[in-house]
Amino acid sequence: MAKSTPGEAVPVRQRGVTMKDVAKHAGVSRTAVSFVLSNRENASISEETRTRINRAVQELGYRPNAGARALASRRSDWYGIVTEIVTAPFAVNIIKGAQDQAWLDRRFLLIAPSDQADAVGPNQGLEDAATEKLLEQRVEGLLYAATFHRGVHVPASANEVPTVLINCFDADGKLPSIVPDERGGGRIAVERLLQAGHTRIGVINLDPVIPAAVGRLEGAREALAVAGLELDPELVVSGYATADGGYEAACRILDRYPRQDRPTALFCLNDRMAMGAYDAIKERGLTIPGDIAVIGFDNQELIAAYLRPKLTTVALPFEKMGALGVQTLAALTAGQPIIADQQLVDCPLLERSSV
């Protein structure tokens, strides 16, 4: 492999070229090479030897050894992220956002999978396996990312390096976290419906105890209050967070009232349920948004963008949360104090065609 084909344009990389080789080839000391490669300000190297060294680097195809560099400099430029997202990729854009940001900062993001059970539960032992592995790699900071917004307990060893939680928060309230502004999202959704003239709005709710449900519903109430309205408890129905759950909940709401009392809009607290609601509405010969407007939450692209009509929904800012997580971590590792224990990220409204 990597045979030296004569006449090749690309520099032939030899395996195992070290700084020493570069130094010899350039006729200087290894120290000089190190100085040039790390662009030291105060080191005095003449322009001529500098170019000679750079040429040697090119000719030999030298590639720095990140591990050795980390060992000597005592900084790895690595962050670690522990996440169940690899297992349940709903929120994979968190990883994308974090990756991109880390890449921009010239840092490596080590991704370690955690079983969902591990991340939530108090079961010590297995729980720390991923964290432990990351610390063995001498990551300079840790991120924990969850697929859905909730409280978690992180392993104790996370205290050893700066740590930031993404899309979840520390149940013990000690670590900084990045979470979606559920309330703002709920507010903006209902505001949109109000603006379209709807005053009788049905809500298809999630399990009422989870942070997402609590926040989004609270936001909905706020928006109604501003318009001088109240949320009719009868119009709020809960169901399983699935298409079937949404279908059933929508059926209950739609069939409960005579035509003139029927809600003219449905706020579905996630897109999967909206998907089911679509079916219930269409089955009854009603049109979207003509007879019933529908607004979702989550912006699960595969659903929202492909439903017919396309679903207007509130987006969970996964990518932004990932990026912000890395930025916060960078600030922390740079020694800056924690800004806030819980940073809220906007959930923007995505207008499509269902309102």
User: Which residue ranges make up the site for DNA (CB under 7 A)?
Assistant: 16, 18-20, 28-32, 34-35, 37-38, 40, 43-46, 48-49, 64-65, 68-69, 71-74
| Residue 87 near which of its own copies, DNA, none (CB within 5-8 Å, type-dependent) | its own copies
Minimum CB distance to its own copies smaller for 29 or for 287: 287
CB of residue 334 vs DNA: minimum separation in angstroms?
16
Contacts of 263 (CB under 8 A, 6+ apart): 198, 200, 201, 202, 235, 253, 257, 292
Minimum CB distance to DNA smaller for 138 or for 310: 138
CB of residue 102 vs DNA: minimum separation in angstroms?
20
| Residue 218 near which of its own copies, DNA, none (CB within 5-8 Å, type-dependent) | none
Q: What angle do CA 259, 263, 266 make, to 5 degrees?
A: 135
Amino acid sitting at position 58? Q
CB of residue 72 vs DNA: minimum separation in angstroms?
3
The token pair that represents 95 in the structure block: 């990883």
Minimum CB distance to DNA smaller for 4 or for 44: 44
CB of residue 138 vs DNA: minimum separation in angstroms?
9
| Residue 353 near which of DNA, its own copies, none (CB within 5-8 Å, type-dependent) | none
| Rounded distance between C-alpha atoms, residue 221 and residue 147, angstroms | 26
* Contact criterion met (CB below 8 Å) for 237 and 267: no
Q: What are phi and psi of 238, to 5 degrees?
A: -100, 160
Summarize as ranges the residues that interact with its own copies (CB under 8 A): 1-2, 10, 13, 15, 63-68, 70-71, 76, 86-87, 89, 92-93, 95-96, 99-100, 103, 108-111, 113, 132-133, 135-138, 156-157, 159-160, 242-244, 247, 272, 275-276, 279, 282, 300, 302-303, 306-308
- Using alpha carbons, select from 105, 104, 17 the residue that is nearest to residue 61: 17
- Strands of the 201-205 sheet, one edge to the other: 236-238, 201-205, 265-268, 293-298, 312-315, 349-350
CB of residue 74 vs DNA: minimum separation in angstroms?
6
Minimum CB distance to DNA smaller for 37 or for 229: 37
CB of residue 4 vs DNA: minimum separation in angstroms?
19
| Rounded distance between C-alpha atoms, residue 219 and residue 344, angstroms | 14
Torsion of CA 324, 334, 171, 98, to 10 degrees: 30
